[in-house]
A and B are shown apart, each in its own frame.
Chain A
Amino acid sequence: GAVVSQHPSRVICKSGTSVKIECRSLDFQATTMFWYRQFPKQSLMLMATSNEGSKATYEQGVEKDKFLINHASLTLSTLTVTSAHPEDSSFYICSARVAGNYGYTFGSGTRLTVV
């Protein structure tokens, strides 16, 4: 089945630094990648939608200059959290929809802790 590989699974960084999270589609081409953020005991909230070769579409309230999304190829999308602050600590997870299939496949998630 369709697999999305997400790395790193956990990362701890200092305030003010940047962190890059990668999602790779291993056996299919992901024309669209969705990036979600999940705070403890809350639901998955969509941050942005990225399409290969074009600019990402950000949800209201999500700072595009802080959360940089790049989808340069059909198999790789990245989310960079710039100038991270403790309030950015969260579980970040990507998801792709396989063409011709209603289903969505999720990455394994990245637990970001900013200290």
Chain B
Amino acid sequence: GENVEQHPSTLSVQEGDSAVIKCTYSDSASNYFPWYKQELGKRPQLIIDIRSNVGEKKDQRIAVTLNKTAKHFSLHITETQPEDSAVYFCAASWETSGSRLTFGEGTQLTVNP
């Protein structure tokens, strides 16, 4: 089955700096790659996703890049703010309707004021 690895496990940045979180996946059939932000005790919230037919997607301060050949994708957050502090998870899945999401181990992002 799919295996998703995520690095780093913790990331501390100063407010205004950029943050980058990287993930690799094992199953070349995976074609949907979402990123989630999870605050303590709450459900994961989708912040951005990318499908395998594109290499990059941007939404304001957040961007995701995908390298299908290398089977890795990254989350980029620019101009970080204290409210960006949370745990971020990458995930991967197939296109089929019954496919499950496989999550990375998570990154605890701390943005220091």
Contact = CB atoms under 8 A, between A and B. Distances in A.
B97 interface: yes
A41 B87 CA distance: 9
Interface residues on B, range: 20 to 34
User: Taking chain B's interface residues, is the majority helix, strand, or loop, or is none over half, making it mixed?
Assistant: loop
Which of A43, A99, A106 has most B Cβ within 10 Å?
A43
Contacts of A107: 43
Contacts, number: 55
A62 to B, nearest CB: 13
A63 B100 CA distance: 19
Contact of A104 (B34, B41, B105): B34
Interface of B: 32, 34, 41-44, 46, 49, 51, 89, 93, 95, 97-106, 108
- Nearest first, the 9 closest Cβ-Cβ pairs linking A and B are A106-B43, A43-B103, A102-B32, A32-B98, A44-B103, A43-B105, A43-B106, A108-B43, A109-B43
Interface of A: 31-32, 34, 41-46, 49, 51, 91, 93, 95, 97, 99-100, 102-104, 106-109, 111
